[in-house]
A and B are shown apart, each in its own frame.
Chain A
Amino acid sequence: MSFGDWIGQLENWVFAVLAFGTLAGAILVVHSRNVIHAALGLVLTLGSLAGLFLLLGAEFVAWTLVMVYIGAVIVLFLFGIMITRAPLGYEIDLSHPTSVKVTAAIVAGSLFALIGWAFLDAFEAVEFAAVDGPTRTADIGISMFTNYVIPFEVMSFLLLAALIGGIVLARQDPEEADE
């Protein structure tokens, strides 16, 4: 498929816009010198990812992503930023010095080259199989509570453990607070 054919499809224009949003947000997260801007960059990235999921027809995952991440996780992050009194203005100390950054860029760049080469080699121009509409949420639910019910139960146990662990770690010892 030539580039002209590719750009002629309307859904690829939508993809291009969402991909730009994803990458711009990701760059903001790793490069911003303002912590609040970095958190908002994550909102942009995850919002665009949710749009990509809608484009792929995975509606339930898209809305779960919006509710859990943009609704809850970002709020948690903003709380964390404010409690640890990370400087709210512009700040040079947020990243390591340039020498470390260069090493990190080399590692990340070679990782991207490796993964990208593997994908290009394996999937060349494979197109999506003709999909008949978005995945029904009922199908996901049925599959989750029949074939994948054990991973689901393990997940719920893990969430409970994380909840208790979070409370135990973050709460102030009452005796210590009295002193």
Chain B
Amino acid sequence: MIVNQFLILGAAVFALGVYGVLSRRNAVMVLLSVELMLGAVNLNLVVFDRAFRDELAAGQIFSLFVIAIAAAEVGIGLAIILLIFRNRSSANVDELDLMKL
């Protein structure tokens, strides 16, 4: 196994996540794409941890932190989307244009 095969895969998943965030219209779908990007970041952290044989296992610990932050982010994000849906009965990001002139 070479390091690059994992890194390129991570880059591909991250790019797909960026594509999803930009092209999705439904806010829940945008959150799903953000999860893809976080997963790609986790893969990179673990790969570098193993490739450099970190004695403190910092890469794995920080990928655990990323997982925890992602869980918190999903909770808050879905609560906000729920609130927007309750107030405007729509969860489409292009209809939230109150701050647009």
Contacts and interface: CB of A to CB of B under 8 A. Distances in A.
7 contacts: A73-B70, A80-B78, A86-B91, A120-B4, A129-B53, A148-B56, A162-B75
Nearest to B83: A169
Interface in B34-52: 35-36, 39, 42-43, 46-47, 49-52
Interface size class of B (residues with CB under 8 A): 35 or more
Contacts of A49: 39, 42-43
A108 interface: yes
Contact of B76 (A15, A46, A84, A169): A169
Contacts of B36: 26, 29-30, 42, 45
A58 B11 contact: no
A77 B80 CA distance: 13
Interface of B: 1-9, 11-20, 22-29, 31-33, 35-36, 39, 42-43, 46-47, 49-53, 56-58, 60-65, 67-76, 78-83, 85, 91-92, 94
Interface of A: 1, 6, 9, 11-12, 15, 19, 22-23, 26-27, 29-30, 35, 38-39, 42, 45-46, 49, 52-53, 55-58, 60-61, 64-65, 68-69, 72-73, 76-77, 79-81, 83-86, 93-96, 100-101, 103-105, 107-109, 111-112, 115-116, 119-120, 123-129, 131, 135, 139-140, 143-144, 147-148, 151-152, 155, 158-159, 162-163, 165-166, 169-170
A77 B32 contact: yes
Contact of B2 (A64, A126, A135, A143): A126
B32 A42 contact: yes
Given A35-B26, A53-B46, A26 B17 contact: yes
Name the residue among B57, B68, B74 with the largest chain A CB count within 10 angstroms.
B57
Nearest to A125: B2
Given A29-B20, A112-B15, A84 B81 contact: yes
Contact of A77 (B7, B17, B31): B31
A109 B1 contact: no
Contacts of B14: 111-112, 115
Contacts of A128: 1-3, 50-51
Contacts of A148: 56, 58, 61
Contacts of B27: 84
B1 A15 contact: yes
Contacts of A58: 46, 49-50, 60, 63
Contact of B32 (A6, A38, A53): A38
